[in-house]
């Protein structure tokens, strides 16, 4: 079976870029870096509601990420329904209990110890939103054929990073949660297993009034970058 005919590339003028004075460039990047330095992963959430319109804009921001061949191999399922969040929690805690008590090597548990994590994930029900991120391995054509996507992990990773930054910019907090394995997400959220692979759960909302975070530090520039 022959594939679809190759399309010739079509280009348009770059419409959005505008050169900035160096002083403004520096001011913007200083402000942005300071803004992101204030971001912290939170595990103690309030049940205070967050309007859907804010979550929609965060997802649209994530969708601006670059992707391999511009295939945009991501799908976001934003969940506020209490029953669905409960099902996600029950399934995630079952996998996490097995991880913490049977499958996790001692070295991994020692690495997690400073964060105070365990198999209990109440925030999956407490937080107003849980955004499930799926990686689309294939797309299905109208005639039923599947077309492979490329650079999917890289593309979805970038999009998820932008989503986290957008949530922080909105004035909310988030938590990345990656229970292993995550196949239950396809079942609970009714996503096609042959096309999509679960990538992450992002818990989103306001922090609890008594929220605390681990006393940890980020690495300085000299330890994360080399200039040649």
Give the confidence band of 106 by pLDDT, cuts at 50, 70, 90: confident
47-52 contact pairs (CB < 8 A, 24+): 47/126, 47/127, 47/128, 47/205, 48/128, 48/205, 48/206, 49/128, 50/128, 50/129, 50/172, 50/204, 50/205, 50/206, 52/78, 52/80
Give the separation between CA 104 and CA 99, rounded to whole angstroms: 5
How do residues 140-196 score in pLDDT, each as one tens digit?
999 989 999 999 999 999 999 999 999 999 999 999 999 888 999 999 999 999 999
Give the separation between CA 31 and CA 25, rounded to whole angstroms: 10
Domains and CATH numbers, the chain: 40-192+201-208 (3.40.109.10)
How do residues 79-89 score in pLDDT, each as one tens digit?
999 999 999 99
């Amino acid at each position: 079976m022959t594939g679809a005919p190759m399309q010739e590339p079509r280009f348009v003028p770059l419409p959005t870029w505008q050169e900035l004075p160096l002083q403004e460039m520096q001011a913007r990047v200083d402000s942005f870096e300071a803004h992101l330095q204030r971001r912290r992963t939170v595990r103690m959430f309030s049940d205070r509601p967050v309007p859907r319109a804010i979550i929609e804009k965060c997802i649209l921001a994530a969708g601006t990420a670059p992707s391999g061949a511009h295939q945009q191999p991501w799908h976001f399922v934003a969940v506020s329904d209490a029953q669905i969040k409960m099902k996600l929690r029950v399934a995630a805690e079952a996998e996490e209990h097995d991880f913490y008590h049977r499958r996790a090597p001692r070295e991994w548990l020692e690495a997690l110890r400073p964060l105070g994590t365990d198999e209990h994930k109440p925030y999956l029900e407490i937080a107003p939103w849980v955004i499930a991120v799926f990686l689309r391995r294939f797309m299905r054509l109208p005639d039923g054929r599947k077309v492979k996507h490329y650079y999917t992990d890289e593309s979805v990773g970038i999009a998820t990073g932008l989503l986290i930054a957008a949530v922080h910019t909105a004035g909310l907090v988030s938590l990345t949660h990656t229970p292993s394995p995550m196949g239950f997400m396809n079942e609970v959220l009714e996503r096609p297993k042959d096309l999509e692979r679960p990538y992450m759960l992002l818990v989103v909302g306001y922090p609890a009034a008594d929220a605390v975070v681990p006393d940890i530090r980020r690495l300085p520039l000299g330890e994360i970058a080399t200039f040649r």
